[in-house]
Amino acid sequence: MAKKSATGPSGLIVVDKPAGMTSHDVVSKMRWIAGTRKVGHAGTLDPMATGVLILGVNKATKLLTWVVGETKTYTTVMRLGLSTVTDDAEGDITEVASKAAVDAITEDMIAEQVAKLTGAIEQVPSSVSAIKVSGVRSYARVRSGEDVQLDARPITVHGFEVHSVTPQTVQVERVLQTDEDGVATSTEIVTASVLDVAATVTCSAGTYIRALARDLGAALGVGAHLTQLRRTAIGEISVEDAYSLDALIAGREAEQAVPLLPIEEAARRLFTERLLTATEATDLSNGRRISPGPAGTEHTPVSSLNHQQAGSKGGHDKPTTAGISATFAPDGTLVALIENTRWKREDVASPILVFESGKTFEENPA
């Protein structure tokens, strides 16, 4: 049976995800708001995290592959002195550093270790992550009581700026013993000295901010976990560009149109634009290669949904916008994404994603 085509407008929308919701929860809400099942997101945020979540609606979901690879920016608070099973505030506390160990940490010591966590580094993802191990999510294995060790992955931390270091005294519940399912069976209330490190991190796709906190705490000998995490930007799209979920729900109830960035405009902002002849548009629409772009033309991709920022840093294992062009038929239809390549010893432009399949275009549409 042929797949049912998505109906309604296609485009991208930026949502300011509230705390307490999964990224999939936001997608589910947007399906109701937009009146379509065809909704996806670029870059998962944990339930405790807030901030920028880019959603694609209908055909624009195909663009999310490239949005995922964009550089991310976060504001965060890392609490030194306490370790948790999840490396964030949602997990049980497993280790409490001594007051003496925490009091001995200086801002210079923190700055030294932050510098070591900046640049191109190898990072072991948090064991409570969605990474699959032998077909099973790592977080599921951890929650069942299994000790999971993931392999290190290359990432790039473009910036790690500490804004403040604040000492605190807190009362916490530490887990002493768990059952075979990882459920706490014995706990105690303890008073702990901690340091709250407020920071901004700009990093490649695939970076775990929880793991940065964990590694910072480990390097300082006191453990650490995240207490706050907010994604403030993906590429050049910032939280100022985002709509609150409440506002979108209110708009739906008032029968207002969803404020989508149309797929054509999104493609223009993500990629270099190439205008096609009717013959070229028809060829791409039917899966055929066309001549490459003009000789000597350098591709300068836009790394986000903002015209002012060029170039895509991307993640180490994520597609980027570099070398890809969005092509448009004479009537303005977004036809395909293409890239220049070699085929049978000739330079050609090959379609890598076709939006309008099996169509014939006219040179001068009425």
Tokens of 74: 């976060």
Element (H, E) at 232: strand 224-234
Neighbour-count burial for 339-355, b at 16+ CB within 10 Å, e otherwise: bbeeeeeeebbbbeebb
Tell how many helices (H) and how many strands (E) occur in the chain: 9, 19
Residue with tokens 């309604």: 8
d(CA 359, CA 279): 11
Give the burial class of 184: count Cβ atoms within 10 A of its Cβ; 0-12 exposed, 13-18 middle, 19 or more buried. Answer: middle
Q: Residue with structure tokens 């608070």? A: 77
Residues 281 and 361 sit within 8 Å (Cβ to Cβ): yes
Active site residue 46: yes
- Both tokens of 148, joined, read 């999971």
Number of Cα atoms under 13 Å in the Cβ half of residue 235: 31
Q: Give exposure, 83-92, as e/b (b: 16+ Cβ within 10 Å).
A: bbbbbbbebb
3 state SS of 69:
coil
Q: Which residue has the tokens 């945020």?
A: 45
Cα–Cα distance for residue pair 366/364, rounded to 1 Å: 6
Strands 224-234 and 50-57: parallel
Q: How far apart are CA 71 and CA 63, in angstroms?
A: 16
Set 16, 46, 87, 241: catalytic member: 46
Alpha helix positions (H), the chain: 23-34, 64-68, 99-103, 107-116, 138-143, 209-220, 245-253, 263-270, 278-285
**Which residue do the tokens 């999964």 mark?**
22
Where in the sequence numbering do the catalytic residues fall?
A: 46
